[in-house]
Amino acid sequence: MKNLIVNADDFGRHELINRAVEISFNEGCLRSATLMAGGIAFDDAIAVAKKNRGLGVGIHFTLANGNPVLPPESIPSLVTKEGVFHDNYVTFMKRYFSGKIALSEIRSELAAQLQKILRTGLTLTHFDSHQHLHHIPGVIEIALDLAASENISAMRAANTKIFDGELNSFGQFVGRFGLSSLAKFAAYKAHNKNFVTPEHFTGIVAGESVSENFMTKLLDNLQDGTTEVMLHPGTDNTILQDFCQWEHNFEEELAAVTSPQILNLLAEKNISAINFSELRSIK
């Protein structure tokens, strides 16, 4: 049996991302999204989630490149003087591994993010994190504890393939190898606590977009079990690239997962598009 989980990250970050999630669910093969509790379009994302039954929603734990839920003064080691998270995972990890970030503040902030979402009445299907920071030793234990306390029992393990997409530098190679290694560690921790993870993970982790061609090759060679495809769809590159400060092709990913050719290929190959809530029942 072959199953596909197409998951949109950054749900709630911007209304144009939310629109893409809704379009991809109704017109494409996306069945899952992970929600940023600190996103400026959080309320709109909740409305989208409640309107579209069958869309599985997880939590996109955020510790970098975003807005905290707690008051900045209560989590000083996690935020800049402007009261926002540090800009990227590199800065976070340098501060974290040099002892400048308090684990107690990580726990408090992630717990606040989780409770903000749960207060809306949504039932969460799984968790992952912005820029994959839940894989880090110390952070993974906190994330698993918080998820288990709310009966969330599925997790992304971003065991990325080193040669997915373009590989243009040694730095990209090191980054993908490091993420893959951390993902294996996180999956080991998760499985020991009876969490489930998809057997396979893909998606472009170095900034390129998931294209129709990428999806075609993936489906033509899809492995048995469940494969998660991570993507970041959106409806307007100009606005979103400026807002996110990221030269990502949001529109190409939206087009890829709503492509009639891709939908036909899923049907021809008898591949089921599912969300994380169905993962345990098929294990």
Q: What is the mean pLDDT of the chain?
A: 92
Instruction: Report the predicted TM-score, pTM, of the whole model to 2 decimal places.
Output: 0.93
pLDDT of residue 194: 97
The per-residue pLDDT for range 27-82, each reduced to its tens digit, is 999 999 999 999 999 999 999 999 999 999 999 999 999 999 999 999 999 999 99
* In the predicted structure, residue 174 carries a pLDDT above the cut 80: no
Query: Comparing C-alpha atoms, which of 153, 242, 136, 237 is closest to residue 190?
Result: 153
Instruction: Compute the distance between CA of residue 144 and CA of residue 46 in angstroms, rounded to an integer.
Output: 23
The per-residue pLDDT for range 228-244, each reduced to its tens digit, is 999 999 999 999 999 99
Say which DSSP state 258 is in. T
Instruction: Compute the Cα dihedral for 246, 252, 255, 261 and give only its sign.
Output: negative
pLDDT of residue 134: 97
Mind giving me the DSSP string for 202-228?
A: ES-SSS----HHHHHHHHHTPPSEEEE
The per-residue pLDDT for range 102-125, each reduced to its tens digit, is 999 999 999 999 999 999 999 999
Q: Where are the domains of the chain?
A: 2-282
Residue 162: pLDDT band with limits 50, 70, 90: low
The per-residue pLDDT for range 191-228, each reduced to its tens digit, is 999 999 999 999 865 556 899 999 999 999 999 999 99
CB contact set of 71 (below 8 Å; sequence gap of 6+): none
> Which CATH number does the domain 2-282 belong to among 3.30.160.60, 3.30.365.10, 1.10.3720.10, 3.20.20.370?
3.20.20.370
pLDDT of residue 176: 59
